[in-house]
Structure 1
Amino acid sequence: MLSNLILLIKENKTVTGFGVFALIIGILFSIFGGGIFDGITGVTDQNKVDSENIEDVKKDLRKILKQLGIEEELNPNNSVDILKEEQEEIENLFKNKIPVDSEFLLLQGNYFYHLKDYNRSIQNYDKILDHDKNSFVVLNNKGLALDSLGLYEEAIVWYDKALEIEPNYVNTLNNKGLALYNLGLYEEAIVWYDKALEIEPNHVVTIGNKGLTLSFLGLYEEAIVWYDKALEIEPNHVVILDNKNIILQILKNS
């Protein structure tokens, strides 16, 4: 029954592929005029971007990506529902029409991450790290991408790099705990959850993940205590409620 337990997720923000694609086309069309459709037909001309509009383009794209739940700080639990054909069109727009800088590379890398194209997201993160090795957000995001590829030990290396720069970054502390959990190192995982909770005691995701990890140590009563702590903060958190009910059923049947 423990196999039914799942890691905590935050609330997903799902936008239909066609709606997002239409929004991107509409905004870029208003900035560049009809020529933006050259990117779709394969005719590309970077010089068509009016330098005065570069910041407007970044601002509008940032707004669109945020509507998808994609920001600089990666939330791996948000889902993006975009058809393959639409992904190709959007990526053509990214590649052909938008000036590339670290901020853009980060957002684009996070976009690829949410499309489960983890290798491409890592390529973007590496381009940033070539010029800025001390961006703990990028180091953390690269760790998450490696984690999603099942490369947990390698992910921990990058989490550690992020923590060398920002030791109190709660998301990375939690993420390192999860990587250790995935390696079956449950006691070590709890150490890192506790470090995160020392800094942010009400971090619901970490509290719930500690409950999950205690469950796999067979400490069911303790797990319930931590699930209850999380539910005091977010009473309707579906995943925590489900996980708690599974443990209650185990205790009932034991």
Structure 2
Amino acid sequence: MIDLKSEEDLVLYRETGKIAGEILTRLIPEVKPGVSTYDIAKLAEKWIREDYDAIPSSIGQYDFQFALNSSINHVVCHGVPSRDEILKEGDIVNLDVTVKKHGFIADTSRMYLVGECSEEAQKLCHVTRECLIKGIEQVKAGNTLGDIGFHVHRHATRNNYTIVKEYCGHGIGRNMHEDPQVLHYGKKRKGLKLEKGMVFTIEPMVNEGSSQIEHLDDDWTVVTVDRKLSAQWEHTIVVTDTGYEILTLRDEEKDLVK
């Protein structure tokens, strides 16, 4: 059953989403060579708790211990921060943060370029963000989940990239994972029809090489089988009367607002 959010819910939810987005923006100058992903995660936790009086909701979920996931280079998702994981020049890293406040959870991620990155890495990050935008543009009442997935997948493949199919976006609200599942591939006009009040994430994972993935022994980290680069961007979206609203929109990306 899908939990449609009311206008009263959204008044509160917007504040939660704003916090999550601000955390990612504030981390931009902190993501640099020589910094550990452990220190980045601890800084995000401190800000969430102390500056926003909010909850880093990933802590304690399935025994996870950090305020964010850090996924570097060929790590597709769910990378675990570590004191030993030190960022270096040329890395690309996805930081994925969840925040809970007023009873609602917001989930968002962005890519960061560490110093000077290769043209190939920059292009992958850019196209993956475009895939997210293509999906968001399909969000309006009456469209389907298949419309979202179709446009995300088509843009990735047109740029000779692959989409990870094992992971998807998801409904979100008072719980981290709610219905529906939001696949990043599909067919136009197929699947669940979107309704006003639906809140869900779109979070395409795009690989430079093969779409095949594997799990490391920590039972968290997901990597590309061929160890080629992977990138991901994510937002929490609500279906509105006129289309969509990005609850986790950051000041740095006002171009996403029509």
Q: Does the pair score TM above 0.5? A: no
Which structure has the greater CA radius of gyration? 1
TM band (smaller chain): under 0.3
TM-score, normalisation: structure 1: 0.26
TM-score, normalisation: structure 2: 0.25
More contact order relative to length (CA 8 Å, sep ≥ 6): 2
Which structure has more strand as a fraction of its residues? 2
